[in-house]
Amino acid sequence: MKYCSKCGSGNLEFKIPADDSLKRFCCEECGSIFYTNPNIIVGALCMWEDKVLLAKRNIQPRYGLWTLPAGFMENAETMREGAARETLEETKAKIELLQPYTAFSLTHISQVHFFYLANLTTLEFGPTSESQEVELFSEPNIPWNQIAFPTVTKTLEYFFQDRKRGYFEFREEDIKLF
């Protein structure tokens, strides 16, 4: 950050403000403190019979790899709305959200990944500007070595384990690389 978005000053210092414990950008001119918070990624594991819907990414990061439909939550939307919107944007699929399923705190990149279990309401889906391909996969046909993100791999692994035992439990994990 080079300039204060409140007063336009270039007199910013990265320091621990009074009564705080973390470094923040602080404007020395107007006294504004700027907080940087984690991004929330919301998505859905969409089911149809014994298959799950995956999208092959047409954007970076991880261009050309497979993922569950997911993306950044927007301001003024709920997590459920964000998961449904991202699914529609990436796969053209309409879904019925069932339950929260997995949540991962990725502190090394300041993100939270949150996935719902969902049913496809129709078999109308396909690629968009964000996806090269969109397909339903049964467990043996999942392209495991081409999954874009570890949180997607973990969510899929949990899903197939839970489906075998007939119970889908919510899981929350911390993923710390540093």
Over range 126-152, report the average pLDDT.
Answer: 98
Per-residue model confidence (pLDDT) at position 81 = 98
Per-residue model confidence (pLDDT) at position 176 = 83
Over range 150-164, report the average pLDDT.
Answer: 97
CB 107 within 8 A of CB 176: yes
Three-state secondary-structure class, residue 82: helix
Count how many Cα atoms sit within 13 Å of the Cα of residue 114 in the half-sphere of its side chain. Answer: 19
Per-residue model confidence (pLDDT) at position 145 = 98
Domains (range + CATH), the chain: 1-36 (2.20.70.10), 39-175 (3.90.79.10)
Percent of the chain past pLDDT 90, that is, above it, reads: 97
Cis, bond preceding 143 (omega within 30 deg of 0): no
Residue 177 pLDDT greater than 90, yes or no: no
Token pair 């495991």 is at which residue? 144
Confidence band for 178, pLDDT divided at 50, 70 and 90: low
Residue 121 pLDDT greater than 90, yes or no: yes
Which DSSP string corresponds to 130-178? TEEEEEEE-GGG--GGGBS-HHHHHHHHHHHHHHHHT----EEEEE---
Tens digits of residue pLDDT in 12-37: 999 999 999 999 999 999 999 999 99
Alpha-carbon gap, residue 144 to 52, rounded angstroms: 13
Tens digits of residue pLDDT in 25-76: 999 999 999 999 999 999 999 999 999 999 999 999 999 999 999 999 999 9
Residue 153 pLDDT greater than 70, yes or no: yes
Count how many Cα atoms sit within 13 Å of the Cα of residue 55 in the half-sphere of its side chain. Answer: 29
CB 66 within 8 A of CB 56: yes
Residue 158 pLDDT greater than 80, yes or no: yes
